[in-house]
Amino acid sequence: MTMIEGHRAIAPPKGAAVWDIDPYAPEILSNPEPYYTQLRAMGPVVFIPKYAILAVGRYDETKEVFSDCSRFVSSRGVGLDDFKHTRAWRPPSIILEVDPPEHTRTRKVMIKAMSPKVAASQRDMFVQTAEEMIDDLLNRDSFDAVSEFAERFPTTVFPKAVGMKDGNPRHLVDYGAMVFNSLGPDNPIRQASLERAPEIIAWIGQACARERLLPGGMGEMLYAAADAGEITAEEAGFLVRSFLSAGVDTTVTGIGNALFCLGRNHDEYDQLRADPTLSRQCFEEVLRYTSPVHSFCRTANADTEVAGIPIAESSKMLCVLGSANMDPDKWGDPENFRVTRKPMGHLAFGVGVHGCVGQNVARAEMDAVLRVLARKVSRIEIIGDPVWRPNNAMHALDRMQIRLHRA
């Protein structure tokens, strides 16, 4: 059996287009729209020889593969590595990289800890923090939207929501980057991200321990589930770790991307200011339009087919969520950012049993940020050209200088 990037190499299936491209090339990760357009144009399933994988980028096929956990599993890894044949750099996630029925048990505990009720209980803290930060930033001539707001806000509020005694903002951001970069090939982006893995993983392990958590937070709820026999104490620690990988980096990206969208579309921002109740819709449109998680993998667990194309067992399926969320056959005018759009069905938070368990908290954080912005800021001005940060799974800004104009 020939292996490539940790999974079994397959031959191009009959009927699939073959495209000699590297979807993890820095220039594509920084500017993916032309790649998305060409991927959809080439067909429902495209074979990429460089990694011997199959890519799906049209909405219908991407949703089919991404949501069918019986044919296309997560337990063999949601990146290029196939855990049936290789060992992961860290213990596999017991919520993200597992399938039913095992997944059902741990997901039930996580959903309870991150329920709409729990998210609502944090709302006042989210709003107060957003007000303090935005008031501070309004007093500056300009600032970097990524390091001074998009990263600062989640790394301030999320550790408090979890109940961490001491957060380390840099470690939290870098841990998320490591987790998502590890889903791609062993390229320079992944290698650079993993350089500090021993130091950061050691800190994460300590931060997730029961004795390092304060009462009343989401972390304590997970250990309470262990006390009740729903999960083990070790699993509780793993789930707290999952909070820190999925709950910070995606929100960092969401805030940065929202500022990008609203700074480029002043008329849309004016609509949000006129009707702040559009904040939730606005965030969903940001997710659809920018797809903070641009790609995730699944593995075919048996011989099957998609759109009439045969898929062999062990085939790695690259689900290009960013492309599916820009499919004109689904959205009509996907290239237009509209805060009044109701983008029901976008794939940015996953779908089915593997839908993002932290989405209630992420939405509560973004609702606070967008409403405070709409109340206090008349215009978001982007200064110069934004720079995107190549990441093997995330579509995130690296830096963007902006100025906030006081309302």
**Domains observed in the chain:** 3-406 (1.10.630.10)
Residue 243 has a pLDDT of: 77
396-406 sheet: strands from edge to edge: 143-144, 396-406, 377-389
Q: What is the DSSP string of 261-285?
A: HHHH-HHHHHHHHH-GGGHHHHHHH
Sign of the C-alpha dihedral, residues 97, 173, 209, 359?
negative
Residue 155 has a pLDDT of: 92
Residue 141 has a pLDDT of: 96
In which residue ranges of the chain is pLDDT below 50? none
47 contacts 356 by C-beta, under 8 angstroms: no
Tokens of 191: 């290698």
- What is the rounded distance in angstroms from the CA atom of residue 45 to the CA atom of residue 17? 7
* Cβ atoms < 10 Å from Cβ of 112: 17
Measured between alpha carbons, how far is residue 367 from residues 127, 272, 375 in Å? Answer: 9, 12, 12
- What is the rounded distance in angstroms from the CA atom of residue 141 to the CA atom of residue 384? 14
Helices (H), 299-388: 321-324, 328-331, 359-376
Which residues pair with residue 253 across a beta bridge? none
Residue 176 has a pLDDT of: 85
Measured between alpha carbons, how far is residue 321 from residues 264, 288, 308, 317 in Å? Answer: 23, 9, 21, 12
pLDDT in tens, 328-384: 999 999 999 999 999 999 999 888 777 777 788 889 999 999 999 999 999 999 999
Task: List the one residue out of 75, 117, 72 whose CA is nearest residue 96.
Answer: 75
Torsion angles phi and psi, residue 302, rounded to 5:
-165, 165
pLDDT in tens, 238-267: 888 887 776 788 889 999 999 999 999 999
- What is the rounded distance in angstroms from the CA atom of residue 154 to the CA atom of residue 230? 29
Residue 201 has a pLDDT of: 85
Sign of the C-alpha dihedral, residues 161, 165, 167, 172?
negative
- ∠318-323-329 over CA atoms, to 5°? 125
Residue 20 has a pLDDT of: 97
